[in-house]
A and B are shown apart, each in its own frame.
Chain A
Amino acid sequence: EVQLVQSGAEVKKPGESLKISCKGSGYRFTSYWIGWVRQMPGKGLEWMGIIYPYDSDTRYSPSFKGQVSISADKSMNTAYLQWNSLKASDTAIYYCVKSAAAIGSWFDPWGQGTLVIVSS
């Protein structure tokens, strides 16, 4: 079974750093793009960026470029989403997603989501 398992919920203060993870299993991790999608409380879905674990080729949405970093460790079959300085507006659920085929394809499956709360 293809699965993405994300790290647990986080509660952080503004200005703190954070790195959340997404571990893939049941498929060849290096052969498929892994992306991140944000869902703010009660809101819709926003694509943040994507990485190809084979060579770490990374693309960002213009809305998120410079705000977050996406990385991957292919030896661990794990992708990461990182912030250097969190803001209250980063409070959201973050989903990792696997591209079903090539980079231009739908997302399947989705991880279970990581809730990030940023509050003083």
Chain B
Amino acid sequence: DIVMTQSPDSLAVSLGERATINCKSSQSVLHSSNNKNYLGWYQQKPGQPPKVVIYWASTRESGVPDRFSGSGSGTDFTLTISSLQAEDVAIYYCQQYLSSPPTFGQGTKVDLK
């Protein structure tokens, strides 16, 4: 199985400041045939199911604010929230969907400072 490791486990950011979450995979999730990274990011707010915010490592889901961005390739990825808003407080998970079973990172909790 591909192991996904996120860092940090938690972070506290002031309103309007940048939040950066890292995700590292134990194997490359870049598919050579289409040059796509099979990596998604999910946001889970308390008491709610997760929802996708980024897929293909850097494609923002429809309706997701443009303060969310994804970057990286191969084994190292980053989710950035450029200007944290109160409604962004949540746990964020990365997930690889290149190989079965699809696997998730352990999650990163983002709080307000």
Contacts and interface: CB of A to CB of B under 8 A. Distances in A.
A104 B38 contact: yes
Contacts of B99: 104
B89 interface: no
A63 B50 CA distance: 22
Contacts of B52: 100, 106-108
A59 B101 CA distance: 9
Interface of A: 44-47, 59, 61-63, 95, 100, 103-113
For the complex of A and B, the 10 pairs showing the least CB-CB separation, nearest first, are A106-B40, A110-B49, A61-B101, A45-B104, A106-B55, A108-B52, A47-B102, A44-B107, A47-B101, A44-B106
A113 B49 contact: yes
A105 B106 CA distance: 19
A113 B1 CA distance: 25
Q: How large is the interface on B (under 10, 10 to 19, 20 to 34, 35 or more residues)?
A: 20 to 34
Nearest to B107: A44
A107 B97 CA distance: 9
Contacts of B95: 45, 106-107
B104 A47 contact: yes
B30 interface: no
Given A46-B104, A47-B104, A104 B97 contact: yes
